[in-house]
Structure 1
Amino acid sequence: MSVIQDMENPGSSIISALGAGSGIDFIGLANDISEASFAFQRNTVEARRETLEAQISAAGQLRNAVTSLASALGERIRNGDLAPRGQLGNAGVAQVSVPVGLSPRGSFALEVTSLAQGQTLVGNAFASGNDPVGEGTLNIRFGTVGAGSFSADTGRDPLAITVTADDTLATLAGKINQASGGAVTAYVATGAAGAQLVLKGAEGAASGFVIEPVGAGGGAVPGDLSYLGWNPASDAGELRAAASDAAFALDTVAMTSPTNRVTGLPGGFTLNLTGTNTGAPTSLTFANNIDAISGVMGDFIAALNDISAQVSELAAPVGGVLGNDSGARELRRDLAALAGQVVMPGAGAGEPRTLGDLGLALNRDGTFRLDTARLTQALETSPDGVTAMFTVGPSGVFATIDRFARENSLVTDPGSLGGSVRRFETQLERSDDRLARIAEQQESLRERLTRDLAASERRVAASQSTLSFLRQQVDIWSADR
């Protein structure tokens, strides 16, 4: 270990080897001088780093508070108590959902007379699911199955499943599932009659199908592929459920759907039909959630006051970490302008247009309050207009706050909080580079001082050796006399 140290610092090895010398710790002296020479610069940069880190943290805190407000508001409108929901008088008939961004209005009468279903076939019986089915090609064609008739859907390609001599009823079911891509599902059911191939198609009248085997011949008996064939003209009870569309009436207007999931309805809502109520229509109502809007405005203003308090503390002109930051000043100005912000530019005369119309009011100290009288007036005179302001569309409260958050977080805008964070981070990187250069310069000075002081130590040692020799000679001369 000492050899390695000596190679790294030859001056120290020389001084150590000389021993007594001048009696001064030149190694420690070199370290102290080099460190003292750069102490002011290093301390200044380190103090600047601490300030920058505090500014990055403060600006990030404000930016996160603003973006969190926008995210929470959007989530509440999409999935919370402001999300548009339909109320069904008979919940067993359907489930109603509304895509994000849409807000249906009004009430409807819904009568469901039949649900969509898929075709179900139960094939001829085998002794076992492991019995061979015969080789050839099993063709499945899709279309509409009628009473003793079949109308092929020419727009759909038939399935052509290759069946080998080794295939059993069970392996054939697996091949059908793999080849159909969900259009037909197959499995083997073993009951009192034996093992039977069950085939189920997708919902909708146009999703019916026929089975057309092409085998090696020998007759429709177990072990020959033609034993599995089926068409409506030859049906002998294999058809257990016919493919059909859903049928319902909305406000007495008869409609059909190939699936029980019905889209394209007024206002964009979606129905998932789950039962029938023939002759007993039920009501479907989309109502304004007035109570929820009042609660949301109260929570919204509380969140704004929390942000305002953070701005007052972090961006205080005296003692604030961001007291002279342009991004914090811009946020303060934007907060002050929120009450007058137009959120519904297309609102008609007398309709609510601004956040102030929803009761957002600014106090003299920069905090916010809820003007309940103004909010109540808007809800009473224009409930639909107020409700329309709480959507996730291009206009409204969420769009305004989301834009407010994005503008204050934009890193390419030097006047925003995002721009402030980027500026501080860039300055922090420069400070780190400066500290690295100071460390290099300090080390260079220490090495140079060590060499110089080592040379001085050698000269002192040589002088002391000469002095000792002269003293010896003087003593000898004195003794001779």
Structure 2
Amino acid sequence: MVSVSSSISTALGIGSGIDTGSLVSSLVSATRDPKESAINNRQSLNSARISALASASSSIDTFADALNNLLSSSGYAGAPGSNDPSIASVSLIPGGVPALPVQLEVEQLASAQVLASTPVATPAAALGLGAFTLTVGGQSATIDITSANNSYAGLASAINAAGLGVTATVVTDNQGTRLVMKGASGGANSFTFTKDSGDASLDAFTWDGATGGMARQAQARDSIILVDGVRQFYSSNTIDTAVAHLRIDLNKAAPGTQITLASTEPTTSMRDLVVEFVDAYNTMMKALNTATATGADSSSSGVLNGESAARDMKRQLSRMTSTALATSGNYRTLVDLGVKTNRDGTLTLDTKALDVAIAADPSAITQMLNPAVASTATPGLAGLMDQVRDSIQAKDGALASAQAKYNALAEKLTKQLEKLDEQMETYEARLTATYSEMETRLAALKATQSYLDQQIAMWTKSDD
């Protein structure tokens, strides 16, 4: 037979050894864990998407920057050259493409007028007092010799200070000391140095254009060249305007001898460029394909599967092969050079077709892939990649929208975790208070039980 006291103890759970702290912890975990796991899983996926988009954008940056750096080197541009640099050498002037080849004949080099005075053995002696007029191409300046500059050095300094392009120096050698005057090159820069007044000794430094106290060592002359048979005259031996965008440096007169100025095309470099472009493009596209792959379930699908920003990247990249890089000619797009797009978006290069195109028109291929002057219509390969990058990374583009969306979701999920923590703290506190109150009541019931046990024992004893 079960005693009354035993039944009460069983009903109240007194002496059951229940750990209310552990019970509260278990109840809180049972409530928290499913919600926290769901949020963490969403955070993990969201972080992976943010990272994947950033990685894709970074790879486009790297690709575009590499193309720009590569094509800025001289090995990927058509370079003008001369078949006889001893007569004339050439270099490219930025801003355009020279219309080459041309035939050049250097009939005469430009020269500057040079005058020299008669050497004297006593350069420290005074020259005399007076005034000269220096005239160059219709411009004149007065050169005064006073007690302050009455010397070779003083006269040279006064001539130089006139600012008419005539340079005076004092030369001392085994023959003695003399004044040397030199003008700028070109026939228009011949000059005279005439005495206006002063001592007769100053006559030793005069020149009227034909005679004088000084001797003419060299005559001012223009350079004379023939470009494709057309005679042209210049005051310098460095000519920038005979052929647009081409600098010609005349090194030697060679009347009757024609040399060829032409562009040498980097055909090997251009071929390597297209091959390397296709390889790098495919590496980037394969990474995007992996990120956007559709699997049998979410665990086997790419992290960017279904993401419109990733599809937009692939779409814009795929347009590169059919975008015009030249406005005329037989070769305008990468497709014309043998570049084809596969079903998965990667590229295949027909190297035979590329070789045929380069052999047929190397200059056109060079200008198409790396124009001397890029424009919106003729951007070149690097410029085209820049356009694609700018479009993909536009502030109002699909990539920016997706990144903003995922960043906002990351903040939202972080706040959800913070809110869950707050809710669980409140829940735990409520449970703790409930079980604490229960313990208090159980203690009171236990006291009552003890009293009843005593009374029952007394009743039982009395019956005996």
Q: TM range, normalised to the smaller chain?
A: 0.5 to 0.7
Q: Which has the higher contact order (CA 8 A, sep 6+)?
A: 1
2:16 corresponding residue in structure 1: none
Structure 1 residues 208 and 325, CA, compared in 2 at 3 Å: closer, same or farther?
A: farther
Gaps of 5+ in 2: 1-35, 295-299, 419-464
Gaps of 5+ in 1: 1-39, 144-152, 439-481
The residue number in structure 1 matching 2:163 is 180
Question: Which residue of 71, 75, 79 corresponds with 1:80?
Answer: 75
What does residue 375 of structure 1 align with?
A: 354
**Partner Cα distance (2:152, 2:401) in 1:** 70
Bigger-Rg structure (1/2) = 2
Are 1:140 and 2:134 an aligned pair? yes
2:332 pairs, out of 350, 353, 358, with 353
Relative distance call for 1:198 and 1:300 in structure 2 (3 A) is farther
Distance in 2, matches of 1:254 and 1:420, equals: 63
Q: Structure 1 vs Structure 2: percent identity of aligned residues?
A: 24
Q: Corresponding residue for 2:187?
A: 205
Q: Corresponding residue for 1:405? A: 386
Q: Provide the C-alpha distance between the structure 1 equivalents of 2:215 and 2:119, rounded to a whole number of angstroms.
A: 11
TM-score between both structures, scaled by the size of structure 2 = 0.64
One-letter amino acid of the counterpart of residue 72, structure 1: N
Say if 2:94 is the partner of 1:97.
Answer: no
Change (3 A) 1:68 1:313: farther
Deviations 1:397-422 (A, max 9, x none): 644541441452366532176x5799
1:62-461 matches, cutoff 5 A: 62-72=59-69, 74-76=71-73, 79-88=74-83, 90-100=84-94, 102-104=96-98, 107-127=101-121, 131-133=125-127, 138-143=132-137, 153=138, 157-161=139-143, 163-167=145-149, 168-180=151-163, 183-214=165-196, 217-221=198-202, 227-235=204-212, 238-266=215-243, 268-286=245-263, 288-309=265-286, 311=288, 329-347=311-329, 351-383=330-362, 385-390=364-369, 391-393=371-373, 394=375, 398-399=379-380, 401-409=382-390, 413-415=395-397, 419=400
Q: Is the 8 A contact 2:130 2:145 kept in 1?
A: yes
Question: What does the per-residue CA deviation read over 1:175-234, in whole Å, with 9 as the maximum and x for residues that have no partner?
Answer: 5445427x222221102342222222111111111123545x22234xxxx543322232
* Count of aligned pairs: 367
| Residue-by-residue CA offset, 1:87-138 (whole Å, 9 max, x unaligned) | 41x2210102233354445544322222111111113445555555556655
Distance 1:176 1:322 in 2: 78
Following superposition, the deviation at residue 249 of structure 1 comes to 2.2
Answer yes or no: is the 8 Å Cα contact 2:99–2:244 preserved in 1. Answer: yes
Structure 1 residue 265: deviation in Å?
Answer: 3.3
Shift of 1:356: 0.7
CA RMSD in angstroms comes to 4.3
* Structure 1 contact 327–414 (Cα < 8 Å) conserved: no
- Structure 2 CA distance for aligned equivalents of residues 178 and 98 of structure 1: 36
SS across alignment from 2:210: helix
Q: 1:229 to 1:426 in 2, by over 3 A?
A: farther
Question: What CA distance in whole angstroms lies between the structure 1 residues aligned with 2:262 and 2:69?
Answer: 27
| Deviation of the 1:274 alpha carbon | 0.5
